[in-house]
Amino acid sequence: MLDYLVVYESETGNTKKIATEIFASLPGMSKDLINLHERTDFPEAKIYFVGFCVHRGTCSLEIGNFLSGLSYKSVALFGTCGAGNSLEYYKKIASSVRIWLEDDNRYLGSFICQGKMPLAVRQKYESLLNTPKDCDCQQIRRQLQNFDEAMIHPTRTDLENAALFATECIEKVKSV
């Protein structure tokens, strides 16, 4: 059994960056880093770090299925989110993902940060500005501003905070 298993799903590379940083911060050699879509067999671990990209406020069905298959484990969640950059929104995301975990698991917390989005997302918002009267132009401009702010994420600070989060999760398990 491994001490740590980092399992993640990443579409644009943002969550992979966070996963790699968390993995690098974990002590010792009894650990593994696995892209959910590259393996079907997962080693047992004492602590799981499970990463996801956010779509419509939650994780993918594949991540949900992985989480629901865990039992009597210590589990920490991490993710990246292009839309929205607020702690309140991140808490809602974590709650919606945590639902997949069985109650017999020990939930260690979550780390979610902003991540850059594909250029096609910006182009979609821009095209909406050109639509007739149905356009909520203020909302679309806010989305464009958020898109632009997300372009630098995950930042070095985001990565450092992810590593700190992993350390805090390990300390929670040690303190029991």
The pLDDT tens digits of the residues spanning 124-143 come to 888 887 776 667 788 888 88
18: pLDDT strictly greater than 70 = yes
Whether residues 95 and 134 fall in one domain: no
**Predicted pLDDT of residue 38:** 95
pTM score of the predicted model: 0.91
Indicate if 53 and 104 belong to the same structural domain: yes
Same domain, residue pair 31 and 98: yes
Contact 5, 35 (CB under 8 A): no
Q: Are residues 123 and 99 in the same domain?
A: no
Residue 73: closest CA among 14, 22, 5, 141: 5
Same domain flag for 140 and 62: no
Task: Give residue-wise pLDDT tens across range 59-115.
Answer: 999 999 999 999 999 999 999 998 777 889 999 999 999 999 999 999 999 999 999
**What is the structure's pLDDT at 133?**
67
Q: What digits encode the pLDDT tens for the residues 135-169?
A: 778 888 888 888 888 888 999 999 999 999 999 99
- Residue 127 and residue 57 in one domain: no
What local confidence, expressed as pLDDT, does residue 81 receive? Answer: 93
11 and 80 both lie in a single domain: yes
Quick check: helix, strand or coil at residue 167? helix
Q: How many domains does the chain divide into? A: 2
Q: Supply the CATH number for residue 6's domain.
A: 3.40.50.360
pLDDT mean over 18-46: 97
| Residue 33 pLDDT grade (very low, low, confident, very high; cuts 50, 70, 90) | very high
Judgement on whether residues 96 and 11 belong to the same structural domain of the protein: yes
Q: Do 146 and 111 lie in a common domain? A: no
Expressed as residue numbers, the domain containing 160 is 2-116+153-174
113, β-bridge pairs: 80
Whether 116 has a pLDDT exceeding 70, the answer reads yes
Shared-domain flag, residues 105 and 33: yes
Q: Could you tell me if 145 and 157 lie in one domain? A: no
Q: Which residues contact 127 (CB under 8 A, 6 or more apart)?
A: none
Residues 104 and 36 in one domain: yes
Q: Is the pLDDT of residue 23 over 90?
A: yes
The predicted pLDDT at position 139 comes to 83
